[in-house]
């Protein structure tokens, strides 16, 4: 037989014929199916896990950057003064004006912070109050444009804005009143009297993070100053920038504008440790799932070894009629790699399909169980996030196909070498 080009048509035909083995061939077709489903399941799991990982990262970053300040500026503590207001920023108007002049700054807002208790006729709970100017609140992305909103933010100057978790626990709707109770009230000769004041709820928001939706109350800045006895100034200047990733350049510029000794607290300082831990967890998870794909690929080796053993007579015939050692190797390589490629394609398809319809699937499971599968109070997100990234899908495909090719090569080479031995071994007549 003349030398043909590699991966010729007949090599593909022989390989596919071997994959469709009969029952008498020792269950080779069953091993083929086991290998196929193993790789499909492994790739499916890898894609779903990578999508959920990307979803978590994206949701956390969006809520961190969309509902929280990118940079917080605090006055230094004056230890020589015995006052609760020794960190107050008195000249906040000038500071805000100077900071807003920076090119990268989108918003600079003076803020009043306080921890208080809120109560309604049905319940009470502890919350964080943030005093902010109405115009500044409208520029915070996830508050002005949340995932869910009820009420009118333009009425903020006449009341307070609360998270959906607070509204749900206290059974509140826009237009109803909420009671705010602060332990730091009026100071009298008999001590400090708790301050109790009613505010109208004008706006309810849901950003998708449990720790924000269930703890945060926004109050007009002047009202917060009066309520917390902080008429002199602000607690902190919160800054939103256009490029949060390059936050250090902005911090260096701010150092020349603010009061000497001011403390800067960036979003990376607040969440950097968590993001680093998340990255380490992602890498470990990818390695574990890669091992799962490897284990599934090893089933191909078992199937090919059985196939070579059962096709030893056919291999000898093929060598007799002129097939080269390379042709035999390629035939069995096609057998194994075809299983890997087919399993990868199906695993990718069903993995992507699962991610796309993950909300509907979880809703269906919750309906069957009669309880929510996803508990936002534990995981701080209102739903399971899943985000398909092209890079993650490509990584899963390359990993699966590469491992399939690698593990297939060795039994295929063994088949080619055994064919060489069969071809060169002496006949019974020669041995006599």
pLDDT (tens digit, 9 = 90+) per residue, 318-349?
Answer: 777 777 777 877 888 888 888 889 999 999 99
In this prediction, residues 207-235 reach a mean pLDDT of 89
Task: Give the highest mean pLDDT range of 41-55, 261-275, 360-374.
Answer: 41-55
What is the Cα 162 distance to its own chain's centre?
26
Q: Classify residue 93 as left (phi > 0), alpha (psi -120 to 50) or beta.
A: alpha
In this prediction, residues 31-48 reach a mean pLDDT of 88
The tokens describing 380, both together, are: 């701080």
Residue 250 has pLDDT above 60, yes or no: yes
Strand partners, 150: 204
pLDDT value for 237: 94
pLDDT value for 432: 42
pLDDT value for 56: 81
Residue 25 has pLDDT above 60, yes or no: no
Among the listed residues 428, 17, 65, 372, the one whose alpha carbon sits nearest the alpha carbon of residue 243: 65
Instruction: Give CA–CA dist 361/350, Å, rounded.
Output: 13
Please indicate whether residue 106 or residue 270 has the higher confidence score (pLDDT). 106
Task: Look at the block and give the residue holding tokens 């075809």.
Answer: 338
Among the listed residues 252, 247, 164, the one whose alpha carbon sits nearest the alpha carbon of residue 209: 164
Percent with pLDDT over 90 in the chain? 28
pLDDT value for 431: 44
pLDDT value for 428: 47
Identify whether the C-beta of residue 353 lies closer than 8 Å to the C-beta of residue 47.
no
Please indicate whether residue 136 or residue 327 has the higher confidence score (pLDDT). 136
**Band of the pLDDT at 26, cuts 50, 70, 90?**
very low
Among the listed residues 281, 271, 252, the one whose alpha carbon sits nearest the alpha carbon of residue 54: 281
Residue 13 has pLDDT above 70, yes or no: yes
**Number of other CB atoms surrounding residue 292 within 10 Å:** 17
Task: With 0.85 as the threshold, say if the pTM is over it.
Answer: no
Q: Classify residue 196 as left (phi > 0), alpha (psi -120 to 50) or beta.
A: beta
Residue 429 has pLDDT above 50, yes or no: no
Please indicate whether residue 53 or residue 7 has the higher confidence score (pLDDT). 53
Q: Where are the alpha helices (DSSP H) in 214-357?
A: 221-227, 247-254, 267-310, 312-320, 325-356
Please indicate whether residue 214 or residue 324 has the higher confidence score (pLDDT). 214
Crossing angle of helices 325-356 and 312-320, in 10° steps, is 130
Task: Give the highest mean pLDDT range of 49-58, 155-164, 352-361.
Answer: 155-164
**Number of other CB atoms surrounding residue 257 within 10 Å:** 15
**Band of the pLDDT at 294, cuts 50, 70, 90?**
confident
């Amino acid at each position: 037989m003349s030398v043909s080009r590699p991966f010729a048509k007949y090599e593909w035909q022989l390989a596919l014929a071997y994959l469709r083995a009969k029952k008498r061939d020792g269950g080779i077709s069953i091993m083929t199916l086991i290998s196929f489903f193993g790789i499909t399941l492994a790739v499916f799991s890898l894609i779903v896990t990578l999508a959920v990982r990307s979803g978590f990262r994206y949701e956390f970053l969006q809520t961190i950057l969309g509902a929280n300040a990118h940079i917080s500026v605090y006055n230094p503590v004056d230890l020589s003064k015995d006052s609760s207001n020794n960190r107050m920023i008195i000249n906040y108007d000038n500071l805000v004006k100077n900071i807003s002049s920076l090119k990268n700054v989108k918003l600079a807002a003076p803020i009043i912070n306080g921890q208080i208790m809120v109560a309604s006729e049905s319940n009470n709970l502890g919350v964080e109050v943030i005093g902010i100017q109405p115009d500044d609140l409208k520029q915070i992305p996830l508050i002005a444009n949340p995932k869910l909103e009820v009420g009118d933010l333009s009425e903020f100057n006449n009341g307070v804005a609360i998270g959906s978790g607070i509204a749900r626990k206290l059974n509140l709707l826009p237009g109803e009143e909420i009671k705010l109770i602060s332990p730091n009230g009026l100071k009298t000769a008999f001590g400090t009297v708790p301050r109790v004041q009613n505010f109208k709820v004008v706006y309810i928001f849901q950003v998708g993070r449990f720790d924000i939706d269930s703890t945060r109350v926004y109050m007009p800045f002047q009202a917060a100053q009066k309520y917390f006895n902080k008429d002199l100034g602000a607690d902190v200047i919160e800054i939103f920038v256009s490029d949060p990733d390059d936050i250090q350049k902005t911090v260096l510029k701010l150092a020349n504008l603010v009061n000497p000794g001011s403390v800067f607290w960036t979003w990376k300082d607040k969440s950097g440790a968590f993001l680093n831990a998340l990255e380490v967890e992602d890498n470990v998870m990818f390695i574990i799932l890669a091992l799962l794909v490897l284990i599934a690929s090893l089933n191909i080796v078992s199937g090919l070894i059985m196939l070579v053993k059962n096709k030893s007579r056919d291999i000898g015939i093929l060598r007799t009629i002129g097939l080269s050692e390379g042709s035999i190797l390629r035939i069995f390589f096609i057998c194994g790699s075809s299983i890997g490629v087919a399993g990868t394609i199906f695993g990718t398809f069903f993995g992507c399909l699962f991610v796309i319809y993950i909300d509907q699937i979880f809703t269906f499971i919750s309906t069957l169980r009669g309880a929510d599968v996803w508990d936002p109070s534990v995981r701080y997100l209102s739903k399971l996030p899943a985000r398909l990234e092209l890079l993650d899908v490509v990584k899963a495909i390359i990993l699966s196909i590469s491992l399939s090719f690698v593990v297939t090569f060795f039994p295929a080479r063994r088949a080619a070498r055994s064919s060489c031995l069969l071809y060169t071994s002496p006949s019974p007549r020669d041995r006599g």
